[in-house]
Chain A
Amino acid sequence: MISPTTEQELAEAVAAAPGALRIIGGGTTDIGKPVTGQALSVAGLSGITLYEPGALTLVARAGTPLAEIEAAAAAENQRLAFEPMDYRRLLGTSGEPTIGGVVAANISGPRRVQVGAARDHLLGVRFVDGRGAAIKNGGRVMKNVTGYDLVKLMAGSWGTLGVLSEVAFKVLPRTDVTASVLIKGLSDTDAVRAMSMALGSPFEVSGAAHDPAGPVSMLRIEGFENSVAYRARELQRLLGWAGDISVENDPDAVAARWSGVRDAAAFADRPGDVWRISVKPSDGPAIVARCAADAVLYDWGGGLIWVLVAEGTDLRARIGAFGGHATLVRATRATRAALPVFQPEPAPLAAISAGLRAKFDPRGILNPGLMG
């Protein structure tokens, strides 16, 4: 295992690498086509390098544990608003999730539907490309259109364009009070309709999920106490047609509920493959009907669907053509080697992506093949 502790050492290690590198942050997100190659850990590049609460800005080395960043932000009553999920429960991995891993996989949680994804909160990156050159893009200010936005390109590139060494984030204030509005007994179609009405209301819903086993539909509202109470009442009024509706106020119960949604915890102890599908919300129920799944969980108002199916199932073949993308998140190495983990792209886009990889990593040594 190569374990650089500075960006310079990282650059030298990549430049000197004789062949493929398997890039590791905390090792908790074992997703993608299995990569063979020498392990390169960025865990040694650790530490918050700048945090200005008054400017809502936090900069950290890529190997910094996510927990360290969340604790530092919490101490200033702030947070990473995109609510990155913790993959350890679902994937059965151990280790410490790192902020670089969050960026490389563009990991977001339920609040993504309101405030955007990890990529939307990322202000700047430093990374080492496949030639061993240290590159910076973006910065640490909230508005920056100086040159191309490689920040977005790096987010969700799974280490195939470069090895992240430092990332800068926008943080946001934490909220005082959180409550859930719960609706029992809805069909998937009615649940998506209810979530769309809530998300299309002025009542600032920060989470909208539906668990068909129950069934229970969940809406989250956050903010000042009086405002949360008011919005909970208004949502109950708006969704009066939906029947059995109640408000959950107990802070522990609310927190447990939404971390469970965030981490797809209901699937953690159940055998089978787990897929993650991003669709136009109103398309969701029809797609789910074609999945013949063992279990399903809707998040993002129906725009994100977690699907549990028997091991080795080619879910894309079952669904057929649809608008969006499906990712095989949990499966055996054999299944991940046999089925495309990431949604195959139309030929012109695949050519652009291949072209970009060839430019950033001309020797093809950075997590080669991971994204297919």
Chain B
Amino acid sequence: MEMPVPNAAVLSKKSRLVARLQEVLPSEAVIHDEAETRAYECDALTAYKCPPLVAVLPSSTQEVSAVLRICHEEGVPVVPRGSGTSLAGGALPTADSVILGVAKMNAVLETDYDNRFIRVQTGRTNLSVTGAVEENDFFYAPDPSSQLACAIAGNIAMNSGGAHCLKYGVTTNNLLGVTLVMMDGEVVEIGGAHLDSGGLDLLGVICGSEGQLGVVTEATLRILRKPEGARPVLMGYDSSEVAGQVVSDIIKAGVLPVAIEFMDRPCIRATEAFAKAGYPDCEALLIVEVEGSAAEIDEQLGVILQIARRHNPVELREAKDANEAARIWLGRKAAFGAMGNINDYMCLDGTIPVSSLPHVLKRIGEMSAEYGLDVANVFHAGDGNMHPLILFDANKPGDLELCEAMGADILRLCVEVGGCLTGEHGVGIEKRDLMLDQYGLDDLEAQMRVKDVFDPAWLLNPAKVFPLKVSAGRRDFAA
């Protein structure tokens, strides 16, 4: 993966930069020793590593503002970091950058059940937002797989999704307002506890901008009352075509499950070996979950089971109680761990129209044979968000590159059938150079012009999202 050549002028002013940062932050919040900056050399895309020049851990919006003001004056690139769980390299540093981590800022600032929102500092983890309101039976809906560790700051940067977005939407649909620190240190408030924007929807474009427009230090999030109950069913089929048809038929029948999860045979076998959930050995397995009152669950499941039976399942399992429900979810929740147990893997997240599912799965199977790399598929079928896991051996020379080439082919296939490169992980560095497969130069130009307005010097996370050759003029100008 190509990264820009570090700016020598920036590298040479490290000691002055550190001294200035120490004037506005406690000394332990400015990490500059080379042994210690290494802790920030990568995120969850661990194949790529580069220690930053400095890492800072501010404790308040004012400290973030002071840090950015200094970096702006010194012309130093800044890479914002939530919890470092990005699978796309969104928080990967460059050698000439300051990592700005918001992990210390994790307070709940306001909880308002009457108006159904919570205001938090963005270093707070996703799951602990729900943790702050669940004693009153409320929850924060977006639930990325990494929710135990990932921070709201990163969720906003990547517009994170999760398993339940068919019903509840992704981060942008649950974000009401932000406190944003601009690259020059200016602090602005956008949105709040009310709905919609009175002018241009700046909140909408900030969410998902991968830390390139500003640093979000506080967020107002919509919270929802928990449903009365939820119940999953498990169904197994002999072909992925049939499973895809079942998904489509369920959606067309007018029920809206909160989750429809899909696993293919390689994934089922790996998770069975690991978690022993008692899944059938079949070509395609679906877990469909509905929620609501007991009456509502019964009505929805009635419709779903009728459709499921019509397509001759090899197995159809209902959950009679919480214990059985947990067993249905057991293998799915263990899937990533199970794959990691047998091999290194790369996890993609291209999205496709649901109707293309059988075709895409067939093509992925063919590519797997061509490249000689195994692929397991586990994904959110209701919204078409694929998660092919390509298995490779990190210790075998050339295997990572082979895996990346195959990954790129799969993502191009997603675009070709009318989908996109990334449904919830973000572009980062991982998919940066594929952007021209989805967008034309004019399309990318329009996006880069937004960054020109928020960050004219292109100092915030500059080497991400846009192909380096496309953003070169703007970044060179910055240097």
Residues of A within 8 A of B (CB): 52-57, 76-78, 106, 108, 112-113, 116-117, 119-120, 129, 133-137, 139-153, 155-157, 160-161, 172-176, 193, 196, 199-204, 223-224, 226-227, 230-231, 278-282, 300, 303-304, 323-327, 342-343, 345-346, 348-349, 352-353, 355-356, 359-360, 371
Contact = CB atoms under 8 A, between A and B. Distances in A.
Taking each of B198, B226, B255, B296, which has the highest tally of chain A beta carbons within 10 Å of its own beta carbon?
B198
Contacts of A161: 200
B194 interface: yes
A150 B445 CA distance: 12
Given A142-B351, A143-B161, A153-B450, A53 B252 contact: yes
A361 B169 CA distance: 31
Nearest to B353: A55
Contacts of B355: 52, 54-55
Given A134-B442, A326-B198, A148 B300 contact: no
B450 A359 contact: yes
Given A148-B447, A173-B256, A231-B293, A117 B353 contact: no
- Closest CB pairs A-B (n = 9): A152-B204, A325-B198, A54-B248, A343-B198, A143-B423, A355-B453, A173-B254, A324-B194, A280-B193
B195 A300 contact: yes
Given A325-B196, A349-B188, 5 more contacts: A149-B204, A151-B204, A153-B204, A325-B199, A360-B446
B450 A150 contact: yes
A136 to B, nearest CB: 5
A43 to B, nearest CB: 25
Given A135-B442, A348-B186, A371 B383 contact: no
A342 B198 contact: yes
Contact of B292 (A204, A278, A343, A349): A204
Nearest to A231: B293
Given A143-B385, A144-B423, A353-B202, A348 B188 contact: yes
B116 interface: yes
Nearest to A176: B254
Contacts of B249: 54
21 contacts: A54-B248, A55-B384, A57-B353, A141-B353, A142-B166, A145-B170, A145-B423, A149-B204, A153-B204, A153-B450, A160-B200, A172-B256, A196-B114, A224-B300, A303-B194, A324-B198, A326-B198, A342-B198, A346-B188, A348-B182, A352-B454
Interface stretch (B65-73, B123-131, B261-269, B425-433): B425-433
B58 interface: no
A173 B225 contact: no
Contact of B200 (A52, A156, A231): A156
Nearest to A200: B225
Interface in B419-453: 419-427, 431, 435, 438-440, 442-447, 449-453
Nearest to A324: B194
Given A280-B193, A325-B194, A153 B205 contact: yes
Nearest to A56: B251
Contacts of B116: 196, 199-200
A134 B161 CA distance: 29
A129 B299 contact: no
Interface in B385-406: 385
Interface in B346-389: 351-355, 380, 383-385
A252 B273 CA distance: 57
A348 to B, nearest CB: 5
A227 B229 CA distance: 13
Given A116-B169, A142-B351, A173-B256, A147 B439 contact: yes
A202 to B, nearest CB: 5
Contact of A278 (B189, B194, B296, B352): B194
A167 to B, nearest CB: 15
B280 interface: no
A137 B114 CA distance: 36
Nearest to A172: B256
B198 A327 contact: yes
Contact of B199 (A120, A348, A353): A353
B351 A143 contact: yes
B296 A145 contact: no
A200 B201 contact: no
B476 interface: no
A141 B352 contact: yes
Contacts of B252: 53-54, 76
A121 B476 CA distance: 38
Taking each of B114, B182, B380, B445, which has the highest tally of chain A beta carbons within 10 Å of its own beta carbon?
B114
B424 A116 contact: no
Nearest to A343: B198
Given A137-B443, A148-B208, A356-B200, A303 B295 contact: no
Contacts of A304: 195
B255 A173 contact: yes
Taking each of A112, A193, A348, A371, which has the highest tally of chain B beta carbons within 10 Å of its own beta carbon?
A348
Contacts of B438: 139, 146-147
A302 to B, nearest CB: 9
Given A143-B424, A155-B204, A55 B354 contact: yes
B420 to A, nearest CB: 5
Contacts of A148: 205, 208-209, 447, 450-451, 465
Given A135-B443, A201-B225, A147 B254 contact: no
A282 B115 contact: yes
Contacts of A176: 254
Nearest to A129: B446
A227 B302 CA distance: 13
A156 B196 contact: yes
A150 B225 CA distance: 31
B159 interface: yes
